[in-house]
């Protein structure tokens, strides 16, 4: 039975405490009755700066979160550790709550990592519609991304920002008709981007502009650049994908991820893996079918005809004392760089088991709880990086030198300084603190940032 607060008899502090406690427990009825009696409770905080919204987000109480939002609470407020309710929900894995608290309100869902944006609607149902695809291919609004050796054509604008170069059908129609051309249908622009990317005009037909990626043509890179609408001198093909493809805007990166992964698949899987025969690209480049009718790959359920995605677990391992994390380095890393441990998930293995096995194999450390944080498509060539926070139950490190060069515990303070000092790329100057972290476009960086932002105040 919830009693309305007796303002005369009950101290205001006590009412606030009851309100915050009800939010934390997910008691929607009490939250509503207290709010209607004392509206000023809405954005009240407890001593560590936590609002009712943060407490409800902490414990995944979607109903209370929605009630508080309906009453107009301030969802952008941060606690004394700088975390918003959305940060708290994400940290504790309450995805439904995080979506409701999401910052990108236009589509109701956000993305958390570079390469993770979805600016196109993939329209998978249209992939088998050859007539529709043929028609879209020739439409003046259609955007083509041209790749040479799996590198997209890029152009640099006057501010020096890199973009994917968008070509129209006229610039590529001779390539598209060549037999060696691999053409992949990427999807159509979402409604809010109805303006055509190539002409700057509103789409006349009402159909949203379609995007394709092209590769596999014999023409060399230098001559392909001549097709660029911005003039060949402003354009280039990326030469070092791990560097050049990390400097795009979020939307371009989100289109590039599936485009590059699919083109890489076409290049590596030209022949049937069952019989070795020739295959043909189908369904807008989302399937390769064996030409031999009697091939077993043409019957029953199997996974050899479809593009692959390889799951990789990547772990931020927190020391049992909560104040250090385990990072490793490979010999190929730039000087001073350490990153999260990672490894491929094996067949028949859960993510949790893969995380435990990889950490044990590479560092000798045993981990207990594994909590999923966020993931990142990584189109080099086609991994899905599954980011987890793990809690270690042992701390002795014994490095497997055949896999990595070194693994060590790093103090929270040292990691925070490396993050803040921009120590996330080997700059031209001397390495200052010694520790260099991967750039912000990587999920490893985001897992570390996440851990640093989540202090003991959780
Ligand atoms: Zn076959
Ligand atoms: Mg490994």
Q: Do 374 and 419 fall into the same domain?
A: yes
**Rounded distance between C-alpha atoms, residue 30 and residue 102, angstroms:** 26
Dihedral sign for Cα 38, 2, 14, 57, please.
Answer: negative
Q: Do 74 and 181 fall into the same domain?
A: no
* CA distances for 81 relative to 69, 216, 412, angstroms: 22, 51, 14
Kindly state whether residue 401 falls inside one of the protein's structural domains. Answer: yes
- Count: domains in the chain: 3
Ligand nearest to the CA of 357: 2
Among residues 72, 100, 128, the one where a domain terminates is 100
**Rounded distance between C-alpha atoms, residue 37 and residue 60, angstroms:** 25
Q: Do 314 and 247 fall into the same domain?
A: no
**Rounded distance between C-alpha atoms, residue 344 and residue 313, angstroms:** 6
| Ligand 1 mean position, distance from CA 302 (Å) | 12
What CATH number has the domain bearing residue 144? Answer: 3.90.79
Kindly state whether residue 71 falls inside one of the protein's structural domains. Answer: yes
Kindly state whether residue 106 falls inside one of the protein's structural domains. Answer: no
| Ligand 1 mean position, distance from CA 290 (Å) | 5
Q: Do 128 and 241 fall into the same domain?
A: yes
What CATH number has the domain bearing residue 421? Answer: 3.90.79.10
Q: Do 258 and 165 fall into the same domain?
A: yes
Kindly list the protein residues that place their beta carbon closer than 5 angstroms to ligand 2, a single-atom ion.
Answer: 343, 358
**Rounded distance between C-alpha atoms, residue 53 and residue 442, angstroms:** 30
**Rounded distance between C-alpha atoms, residue 99 and residue 89, angstroms:** 9
Kindly state whether residue 290 falls inside one of the protein's structural domains. Answer: no
Q: Do 132 and 190 fall into the same domain?
A: yes
**Rounded distance between C-alpha atoms, residue 304 and residue 327, angstroms:** 36
Q: Do 151 and 43 fall into the same domain?
A: no
**187, 275 contact by CB (below 8 A):** no
Among residues 240, 268, 296, the one where a domain terminates is 268
Among residues 235, 268, 301, the one where a domain terminates is 268
DSSP codes joined into one string, 184-197:
EEEEEE-GGG-B-T
Q: Do 91 and 168 fall into the same domain?
A: no
Kindly state whether residue 305 falls inside one of the protein's structural domains. Answer: no
**328, 362 contact by CB (below 8 A):** yes
Kindly state whether residue 402 falls inside one of the protein's structural domains. Answer: yes
Q: Do 174 and 128 fall into the same domain?
A: yes
CA nearest to 236, candidates 143, 159, 163, 158:
163
pLDDT of residue 192: 52
| Ligand 1 mean position, distance from CA 147 (Å) | 28
pLDDT of residue 105: 41
Q: Do 316 and 445 fall into the same domain?
A: yes
Q: Do 36 and 124 fall into the same domain?
A: no
Ligand nearest to the CA of 273: 1
Ligand nearest to the CA of 275: 1
Kindly state whether residue 110 falls inside one of the protein's structural domains. Answer: no
Tell me the Cα Rg of the chain.
26
| Ligand 2 mean position, distance from CA 94 (Å) | 29
What CATH number has the domain bearing residue 21? Answer: 1.25.40.20
Q: Do 323 and 437 fall into the same domain?
A: yes
pLDDT of residue 417: 86
Kindly state whether residue 219 falls inside one of the protein's structural domains. Answer: yes
Range of the structural domain that residue 152 is part of: 120-268
Ligand nearest to the CA of 291: 1
Q: Burial level of 179, CB count in 10 A (0-12/13-18/19+)? A: exposed
Beta-strand pair 120-121/279-282 = unpaired
Q: What is the mean pLDDT of each run of 10 residues along the chain (458 residues)?
A: 51 91 95 92 88 94 93 86 82 80 53 90 95 95 95 87 92 90 95 53 69 87 83 81 88 96 94 93 94 91 88 97 95 94 98 97 96 94 96 96 94 87 46 79 92 63
| Ligand 2 mean position, distance from CA 375 (Å) | 18
Dihedral sign for Cα 186, 112, 238, 403, please.
Answer: negative
**Rounded distance between C-alpha atoms, residue 370 and residue 388, angstroms:** 6
pLDDT of residue 104: 45
Ligand nearest to the CA of 276: 1
pLDDT of residue 312: 98
Which DSSP helix (H) or strand (E) runs through 418?
A: helix 412-420
The model's pTM is 0.75
> CB count, 10 Å around CB of 35?
21
**43, 78 contact by CB (below 8 A):** no
| Ligand 2 mean position, distance from CA 238 (Å) | 29
CA nearest to 41, candidates 27, 51, 56, 50:
51
| Ligand 2 mean position, distance from CA 366 (Å) | 14
| Ligand 1 mean position, distance from CA 270 (Å) | 11
Beta-strand pair 235-237/341-344 = unpaired
pLDDT of residue 197: 53
């Amino acid at each position: 039975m919830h009693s309305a607060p007796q303002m005369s008899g009950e101290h205001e502090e006590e009412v606030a405490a009851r309100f915050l406690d009800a939010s934390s427990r997910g008691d929607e009825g009490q939250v509503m009755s207290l709010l209607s009696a004392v509206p000023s409770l809405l954005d009240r905080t407890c001593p560590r700066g936590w609002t009712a919204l943060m407490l409800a987000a902490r414990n995944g109480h979607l109903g209370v979160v929605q009630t508080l939002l309906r009453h107009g609470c301030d969802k952008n407020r941060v606690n004394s550790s700088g975390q918003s309710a959305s940060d708290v929900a994400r940290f504790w894995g309450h995805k439904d709550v995080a979506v409701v608290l999401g910052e990108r309100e236009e589509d109701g869902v956000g993305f958390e990592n570079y390469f993770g944006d979805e600016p196109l609607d993939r329209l998978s149902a249209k992939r088998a519609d050859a007539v529709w695809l043929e028609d879209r291919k020739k439409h003046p609004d259609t955007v083509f991304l041209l790749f040479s050796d799996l590198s997209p054509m890029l152009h640099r604008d006057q501010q020096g920002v890199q973009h994917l170069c968008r070509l129209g059908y006229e610039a590529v129609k001779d390539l598209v008709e060549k037999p060696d051309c691999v053409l992949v249908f990427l999807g159509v622009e979402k409604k809010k981007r109805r303006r055509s990317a190539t002409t700057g005009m509103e789409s006349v037909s009402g159909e949203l502009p379609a995007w394709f990626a092209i590769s596999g043509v014999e023409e060399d890179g230098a001559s392909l650049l001549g097709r660029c609408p911005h003039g060949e001198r402003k354009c280039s093909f990326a030469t070092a994908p791990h560097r050049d493809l990390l400097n795009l805007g979020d939307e371009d990166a989100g289109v590039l991820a599936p485009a590059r992964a699919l083109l890489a698949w076409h290049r590596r899987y030209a022949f049937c893996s069952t019989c070795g025969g020739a295959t043909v690209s189908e369904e807008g480049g989302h399937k390769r079918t064996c030409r031999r009718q009697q091939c077993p790959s043409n019957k029953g359920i199997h996974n050899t005809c479809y593009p692959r995605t390889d799951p990789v677990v990547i772990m931020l391992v927190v020391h049992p004392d909560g104040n250090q994390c385990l990072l490793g380095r490979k010999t190929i890393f730039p000087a001073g760089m350490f990153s999260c441990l990672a490894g491929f998930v094996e067949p028949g293995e859960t993510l949790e088991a893969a995380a435990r096995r990889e950490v044990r194999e590479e560092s000798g450390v045993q981990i207990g709880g594994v909590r999923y944080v966020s993931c990142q498509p990584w189109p080099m060539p086609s991994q899905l990086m599954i980011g987890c926070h793990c809690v270690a139950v042992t701390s002795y490190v014994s490095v497997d030198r055949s896999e990595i060069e070194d693994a060590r515990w790093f103090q929270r303070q040292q990691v925070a300084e490396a993050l803040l000092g921009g120590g996330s790329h080997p700059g031209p100057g001397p390495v200052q603190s010694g520790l260099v972290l991967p750039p912000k476009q990587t999920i490893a960086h985001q897992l570390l940032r996440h851990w640093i932002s989540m202090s003991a105040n959780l």
